A and B are shown apart, each in its own frame.
Chain A
Amino acid sequence: MKQEFTVTVYTENQIGLLNRIAIMFSRRKINIESLNTSPSEIEGIHRFTIVINELEEVVKKLARQIEKQVEVLKAYYNTNDEIVWQELALYKVPTDEIAEKVKVERLLREYGARAVVIRKDYTVFETTGQREEINKLISVLEPYGLIEFVRSARVAIIKASSGFHSKLKEFEKREPGEEVIENEYLGQGDQVFTM
């Protein structure tokens, strides 16, 4: 069954690499739901966070093929249970309407929203959270003439990850890494290896 996966890719910071990674998805006709690229915890190493809806089997092959690219250090894929993730959204609404008709304090409290800009003509709220929370606030604000809305790409932290510093040290060594490429039969030797 297709489900949401977050693919995290650690790369060198190289011009053209975004294209090289993006075509891995478009070649298989996979739609990228959200894409974020930013520096990582290590200077000079970039981190891509890509959200797609796919079968695990496909994502697994995809991650290996992404990792094969010369300037990619590592590609991980995770289900939503395995990550902590957030998105950020901005909402622009007419100030007079909102001031008159909405209990702003309640809004701020209930949705964890913040007023970023308050002008005579419009107010910009900001909220961070997951998709449903962000969407809920849209539906609340929509009746009051939501002028503009924008949501950022997902950023995600892998729960089980211990960071990339030690991995990078491995990469900088000249011998092949100890990294185990998982195989579904690993650890089930008894069932598989008897004939």
Chain B
Amino acid sequence: MSTIEKAPAKGKTEQKPAVKNISGSVAVLEAFLAEGVSTIFGYPGGAIMPIYDALYDYQEKLRHILVRHEQGGIHAAQGYARSSGDVGVVFATSGPGATNLVTGLADAMIDSTPLVCVTGQVFAHLLGTDAFQETDVINITTPVTKWNYQVTDATEIPAVMAKAFYIARSGRPGPVLIDITKNAQLQKFDYEGYTKCDHVRSYRPAPIVRKEYITEAAKLINEAQKPFVIFGQGVILGKAEKEFIKFIEKAGIPTAWTIMGLSAIPSDHPLNVGMLGMHGNYGPNVLTNECDVLIAIGMRFDDRVTGRLDKYAKQAKVIHLDIDPAEVDKNVKTTVPVWGDCKETLPLLTAQIEQKVYPQWLQKFKDMMKEEEDACITPELNPTTEQMTMGEVMKTLNELTGGNAIIVTDVGQHQMVACRYAKFNQSKSNITSGGLGTMGFGLPAAIGAKVGAPERTTVAIIGDGGFQMTLQELGTIMQAEVDVKILILNNQFLGMVRQWQQLFHDKRYSFVDIQSPDFVQLAKAYNIPGKSINQRADLKSAVSEMLNTKGAYLLEVMVGKENNVFPMVPQGCSVAEIRLK
């Protein structure tokens, strides 16, 4: 028995469209148009052929980008969603097509990225018979989707698609997967038009805002001597950047970010004191254990941010603003929870707080930044070593883009360096795999990011290891002519694992010594121009050439083989035990 309710009809004045007899496949595409979808990332196959057949007639209205692997498709859709702030859409076929989506679904689930994935499925009468390319995609994807549903009857499609988009983008966003059997794609039915969904009985996108808690939170903030704001992607997902900046500016509170929140406030904002977490800045980590009121906004206290939990901010009263009630008290005990969408709660809070400044407290962050500069930052950005560092590449990139580019990273040392040193002037500019830490995310996500924000320069910063996980997407860049600048920081190692092996496993370098092909030749095979440099003297001109070349470009920069990312909170240590070397 199914409970997919027909979305309720809107006002009576609306004219009922004439009933048309269409196929399930056409209904899917009509749903996309009604939801404002313009781009689909996908890969065809047997069980999704009817949808692709229908798509043939929709090429004018819907751009389909043919990827080289379904994982590339879903990461591209994630990049698209993150740079555009809209829902990313993916097509894949049944069986292996669907299973190839799993990594991307898990990544989107943990990073709250809105996606609608449509997978083909074998004919309904073959379900459960081990048919060719049949896999139980609903059960495989249940833990990694916000919602999933299998359609076996075309008449369900309009309501199911409406529900899918509504669930994907509302509340705390997430990936939705709709599995459609081939018979339902082919089946013709009387289509009565598309009605957007705005309510699902059993689903509460956002909890009610409890005004008395806002008052309590404001009281704590007003009485605080050393308040500290930490924020995550919730600010970006809630499209609440302006409300957030108004809040911190009135409160005058030093503010640090998680890598998912990065770019929500400009890098040069006077209250921006830097990055939290394992490779974050010195001050924000140490002073987390010194503040008296910790105000966490749209973040989930990931273990990479908190370090050892039983020694995390124990002295502080914690105010936690989050749209997801399950996050409150999950990792860190909250004194005052402020449930709700921060776009709604922040202005209420701002109204109740006093205009303040904390010059001495802020100075403490600055002093510690100075210490960090001497120990870590200066040697990274202005090295005296012969070999180049990742940091100086970022610095050069910042100078040449002016902080206006979208920076997409993969996972590893280069990711931490990029997040630490990239400069940003506008939101939705840092796209990275934060929660899942998916190597291979960078290149396809950059494709999607560029398509989602075509007017912006998009630079993918990728390590030599991660690049080789999804390099087949160079084919997508070639065919779809996506203007992605690919910057490979090559240290000839799986650098982050090597760093840990050096620090915690007596330098026993177990299988981190990775060989690479000639990346420039490889790019050339895909008609993408490129260059490889290993001299500092060539850095600026090479980055400049990359940025100024029309279309995609690959630049490989050879960097020091055994450089480490510091500061670092070693695993099992508290944030106050962060090491500068």
Contact = CB atoms under 8 A, between A and B. Distances in A.
A13 interface: yes
B142 A19 contact: yes
A64 to B, nearest CB: 4
Interface stretch (B53-61, B193-201, B278-286, B552-560): B193-201
Given A13-B3, A16-B139, A193-B220, A70 B208 contact: no
Chain A, interface size category, equals 35 or more
B292 to A, nearest CB: 7
Contacts of B223: 195
Interface in B209-250: 210, 216, 219-220, 223-224
Contact of B3 (A12, A23, A172, A193): A12
A61 interface: yes
Given A13-B1, A172-B201, A183-B337, A64 B139 contact: no
Contact of A61 (B220, B292, B317, B326): B326
B549 to A, nearest CB: 46
A12 B5 CA distance: 11
Contacts of A131: none
Contacts of A11: 202
Nearest to B225: A195
Nearest to A72: B202
A70 B147 contact: yes
B143 A27 contact: yes
Contacts of B96: none
A119 interface: no
Contacts, number: 92
Given A16-B138, A27-B143, A176-B208, A195 B3 contact: no
B153 interface: no
Contacts of B329: 60-61, 183-184
Nearest to A26: B143
B20 interface: no
Given A171-B201, A193-B216, A193-B219, A68 B326 contact: yes
Interface in A8-66: 11-16, 19-20, 23, 27, 44, 60-61, 64-65
Contact of B199 (A20, A61, A73, A174): A174
Best-buried of A16, A19, A183 by chain B (most CB within 10 Å): A183
Given A20-B142, A23-B143, A61 B339 contact: no
Nearest to A71: B202
A143 interface: no
Interface string B329-361: 110001111010000000000000000000000
Contacts of B167: 70
A188 B148 CA distance: 41
Contacts of B220: 193, 195
Interface in A168-189: 171-172, 174-181, 183-185, 189
B3 A14 contact: yes
Contacts of A176: 204, 206-208
Contacts of A195: 220, 223-224, 292, 317
B204 to A, nearest CB: 6
Contacts of A20: 142
A67 interface: yes
Nearest to A63: B326
A19 to B, nearest CB: 6
Nearest to A23: B143
B36 interface: no
B146 interface: yes
A181 B324 contact: no
Contacts of B202: 11-12, 70-73, 171
A185 B335 contact: yes
A38 to B, nearest CB: 14
A70 B142 contact: no
A86 B325 CA distance: 32
A20 B216 CA distance: 36
B165 to A, nearest CB: 13
A63 to B, nearest CB: 9
A178 B139 contact: no
Contacts of A175: 208
B203 interface: yes
Interface string B319-330: 000001110111
Contacts of A183: 328-329, 334, 337
Contact of A15 (B2, B204, B328): B2
Across the A-B interface, give the 5 residue pairs with the lowest CB-CB distance, nearest first.
A64-B326, A176-B208, A70-B147, A195-B223, A73-B202
Interface of B: 1-3, 138-139, 142-143, 146-148, 150, 167, 198-204, 206-208, 210, 216, 219-220, 223-224, 292, 317, 324-326, 328-330, 334-337, 339
19 contacts: A11-B202, A13-B1, A13-B3, A16-B142, A16-B148, A19-B142, A61-B330, A64-B325, A67-B325, A71-B203, A73-B202, A171-B201, A172-B201, A174-B198, A179-B207, A181-B328, A185-B334, A192-B336, A193-B216
